[in-house]
């Protein structure tokens, strides 16, 4: 049986409007391609690259685009079984089904899975209108309303959203109402995580992607049914939530082994806990010495007054690549360098740029190419 891939416009004003469509997809009746209603250029790119309107295997419920900052997005083909396995495993990990607050764009996998989990739990999710951006008062009002239901309450955020909420007492009190706050899409600032813990906010750091139907590793450990292994330094993720390849890249090497997805990330496992050290394709070669930029970013985020960081390599006539960094926060460049004095001198940024905000691609994901252009 086959379907035709249908574009599904997701309205930031009312993302819950697609619930009936998602339910039909999970029931095997339709195959959908979520696209942002408020970004015609992105929507057109997705429709064209994923061959909307053309036949597709009827076992596929959703084609969810990756949020890569360059080139054509890949389309992860997710079956109903993938989506349900992920939702069930999340609830098992968290301690049971509950009420969800959607605070992320619903055309991305993290937002879609909030809706899917709600469908699986048989509850109506509470959703935020994100058409004018993410606002703390809106989130706080929704959190208080959700807490009055009396059951488990959950939400999913990016690290940047979490940081914004923790800037105010109103945001902190709202976060404290949740039984769990899933945080993913980018590395979590260790200072922020520690502060959340001290404030009795249950933050769960998640790792996953469109190819894994959302986060499948929580706080370094695979959720029920998920598997993690390393081949060299490369992280491989397995389990019933792994996508059936890419819509527009059939036979891609990342899905060479059935039931496994070979990520582009490096990491290590210690005491059965996965630590992600960074992307294999982002390594900077400076004068013959190789740096995983995420390692320096984590060191920068540990400096008081740094709220965001992005490290990139730019062409250099002698070194090949020079290490440079952009960051956000009140710390001065001198204070940042002083906070990195424990690192080898070659790892220190040759140039530091403080920005009001880092350029993004996708929810909470820093646009590294955009940062490179700033230098």
Angle between helices 293-301 and 190-198 (to 10 degrees): 40
Q: What is the pLDDT of residue 189?
A: 85
299 and 331 in contact (C-beta within 8 Å)? no
- Residue 190, pLDDT above cutoff 90: no
Q: What is the pLDDT of residues 65-102, one digit of tens each?
A: 987 545 689 999 999 999 999 999 999 999 999 999 99
- Could you give the CA distance from residue 133 to residue 274 in angstroms, rounded to a whole number? 33
List, in order of start, the domains of the chain with CATH numbers: 2-275 (3.40.50.12780), 283-374 (3.30.300.30)
Claim: this prediction has a pTM higher than 0.85 = yes
What percent of the chain lies above the pLDDT cut of 90? Answer: 87
The region of weakest confidence among 25-29, 185-189, 195-199, 269-273 is: 185-189
- Could you give the CA distance from residue 46 to residue 64 in angstroms, rounded to a whole number? 9
Residue with tokens 């469908």: 119
CA torsion angle 296 301 304 306 (round to 10): 100
- Report residue 359 as tokens: 């350029």
Q: What is the pLDDT of residue 160?
A: 87
- Could you give the CA distance from residue 312 to residue 296 in angstroms, rounded to a whole number? 10
128 and 280 in contact (C-beta within 8 Å)? no
- Could you give the CA distance from residue 139 to residue 170 in angstroms, rounded to a whole number? 9
- Could you give the CA distance from residue 227 to residue 223 in angstroms, rounded to a whole number? 8
């Amino acid at each position: 049986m086959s379907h035709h891939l249908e574009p599904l416009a997701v309205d930031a004003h009312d993302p819950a409007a697609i619930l009936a469509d998602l339910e039909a997809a999970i029931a095997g009746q339709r195959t959908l391609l979520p696209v942002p209603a408020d970004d015609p250029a992105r929507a057109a790119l997705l429709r064209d690259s994923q061959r909307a309107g053309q036949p597709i295997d009827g076992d596929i419920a959703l084609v969810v685009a990756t949020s890569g900052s360059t080139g054509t997005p890949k389309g992860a083909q997710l079956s109903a079984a993938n989506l349900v396995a992920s939702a069930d495993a999340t609830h098992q990990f968290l301690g049971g089904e509950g009420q969800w607050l959607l605070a992320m764009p619903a055309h991305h996998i993290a937002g879609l899975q909030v809706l899917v989990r709600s469908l699986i739990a048989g509850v109506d999710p509470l959703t935020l209108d994100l058409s004018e951006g993410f606002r703390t008062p809106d989130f706080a009002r929704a959190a208080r309303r959700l807490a009055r239901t009396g059951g488990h309450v959950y939400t999913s955020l990016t690290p940047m959203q979490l940081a914004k909420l923790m800037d105010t007492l109103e945001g902190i009190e709202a976060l404290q109402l949740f039984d769990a706050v899933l945080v993913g899409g980018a590395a979590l600032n260790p200072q922020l995580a520690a502060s959340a813990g001290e404030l009795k906010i249950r933050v769960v750091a998640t790792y996953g992607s469109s190819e894994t139907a959302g986060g499948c590793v929580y706080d370094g450990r695979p959720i029920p049914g998920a598997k993690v292994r390393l081949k060299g330094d490369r992280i491989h993720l397995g389990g019933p939530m792994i996508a059936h390849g890419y819509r527009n890249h059939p036979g891609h090497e990342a899905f060479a082994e059935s039931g496994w997805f070979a990520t582009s990330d490096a990491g290590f496992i210690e005491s059965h806990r996965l630590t992600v050290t960074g992307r294999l394709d982002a390594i900077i070669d400076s004068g013959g010495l190789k740096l995983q930029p995420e390692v320096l970013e984590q060191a920068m985020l540990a400096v008081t007054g740094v709220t965001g960081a992005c490290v990139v390599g730019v062409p250099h006539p002698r070194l090949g690549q020079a290490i440079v960094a952009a960051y956000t926060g009140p710390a001065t460049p001198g204070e940042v360098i002083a906070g990195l004095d424990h690192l080898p001198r070659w790892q220190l940024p040759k140039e530091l740029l403080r920005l009001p905000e880092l350029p993004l691609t996708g929810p909470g994901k820093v646009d590294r190419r955009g940062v490179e252009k700033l230098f």
